[in-house]
Amino acid sequence: MKSFDAIVIGGGQAGPFLAARMVEKGMKVALIERKFLGGTCVNAGCMPTKTLVASARAAHVARSGAVYGVNIPGEIAIDMKVVRARAETVTMNARNGLIGWFAAMDGMTVIYGHARFEDPKTVSVNGETLTAPRIFLNVGARPVIPDLPGINDIDYLTSTSIIHLDTLPRHLTVIGGSYIGLEFAQMYRRFGAEVSVIEHGPKLASREDEDISDAIADVLRSEGIDIHTGVSDIAFSRSSDGITVATDSARIDASHVLIATGRKPNTDDLGLDAAGVVTDKHGYITVDDRLATNVDGIWALGDCNGHGAFTHTSYNDFEIAAANLLDGDDRKVSSRILAYALYIDPPLGRVGMTEKQARASGRKIMISTRPMSRVGRANERGETKGFMKVIADAETKKILGAAILGIEGDEVIHGIIDAMNAGTTYPALQWSVPIHPTVSELIPTLLGDLKPV
């Protein structure tokens, strides 16, 4: 049996950085990864997909050049092999960077294999037994495959496998109208494929307010994406030239099907029962406000704990654990203000409460909206789709939440994120003097238009 000061299971965005901090403190750490260092973000999520989004936007801008007086003769051609290779290069650079970083650390042992608990202090991997007083789980999540008629008779894609396509689908049908599915839908439409989106719920991006969901649908429809919502029945069958997707309202002749119906944690094969670690009904590991499980000496970080499915929340889990365990601090998950983005074009930046959540909270609230058509930067760039929206507490004057669907919305939202984390009241922001011409310069104007509801 090999002994360590700590064992980290999973090489995503929380565990490796915590492992590095512990090594800096002179600890002996084992990092166990069953596949690739970097987790979903580096290998099958943020980095490759946003690289693909960039390629898709380049194609869109090239096709739109005439509007700006830039005439490109002939058809804009897409070389999917180059597109794929570029995304793979970005991934490999990041992955190899992590490999080199850890290899240079004295005290760090990286083990590739599948770890399972033998007891609360012991795990087995590759026939070896490892023990440590502290064990951290950072095992991530994977795509959910729903039990739909005929699904096992077709060759479907997931968010993991679609990034390896090096040919253009004739007609991509996306099952699931949430964030992952919508990004791939617009991306492949811009590459030149016909695209359909099928969503069980009544709206796309159902976490958002209805006005945001409707605006997202308008953006996608304006680019020729076929959207079906409120679909209750879906079945698949092979056809002579692809896949037939039959719903209660349509029949689609697809060449490729992407299943984007959510993700589930990779916790079902860790031997958690042997350690006594408790999970909820969805398989997420139950943790307290400091990320500790019900078993002393075991923590869960990142997507597998159900407290955020984003790279930045996973990294913040590392920050919380490191601060509490290594720096004598007392940071809590409940102090985190959730923020995220949807990377369609234009992007959606979101922070805090939706209008629906704010109304349900019983607070007296104020709301302001502003169409992007009234933003100078948007008009100058010819990208006026979407709108800005902010919700505030009428009594405390604190900002409760915001949504910016529009050009550079994923960047502009950080002005609101910073203000909310600092506890700044909205009247204080009204007197800032932002730079012109930017999208952010409209934040004081947006706040000045807050009205009680």
Place of tokens 């004598």: 328
**Interstrand relation of 387-393 and 399-405 (parallel, antiparallel or unpaired):** antiparallel
Q: Map residue 166 onto helix, strand or coil.
A: coil
Starting at the earlier edge strand, list the strands of the sheet with 122-125.
Answer: 2-3, 128-131, 122-125, 116-119
Please give the Cα distance from 87 to 58 (Å, whole number): 14
Please give the Cα distance from 90 to 93 (Å, whole number): 5
Please give the Cα distance from 316 to 32 (Å, whole number): 20
Q: What are the Cα distances from residue 96, in Å, to 22, 37, 38, 93, 102? A: 21, 9, 9, 5, 10
- Contact at 8 Å (CB) between 52 and 187? yes
C-beta contacts of 329-338 below 8 A and 24+ residues apart:
330/290, 331/290, 332/289, 332/290, 333/287, 333/289, 333/290, 333/291, 333/307, 334/289, 336/308, 337/417, 337/420, 337/421, 338/308, 338/313
Please give the Cα distance from 273 to 283 (Å, whole number): 12
The secondary structure of residue 423, as a DSSP letter, is T
Whether the ω angle into residue 346 lies within 30 degrees of 0, i.e. cis, is yes
Please give the Cα distance from 115 to 122 (Å, whole number): 10
Please give the Cα distance from 331 to 335 (Å, whole number): 8
Please give the Cα distance from 199 to 202 (Å, whole number): 8
Please give the Cα distance from 3 to 109 (Å, whole number): 11
Q: b vs e for 283-316, b when ≥16 Cβ sit within 10 Å of the residue's Cβ?
A: ebbebeebbbbebeebbbbbbbbbbbbbbbbbbb
Q: What are the Cα distances from residue 326, in Å, to 138, 214, 253? A: 18, 46, 56
A 10 A CB-CB count for 128 gives: 12
Instruction: Establish whether 164 is a catalytic residue.
Output: no
Q: Of the listed 164, 171, 228, 436, which one is catalytic?
A: 436
Q: Which residues are catalytic?
A: 436
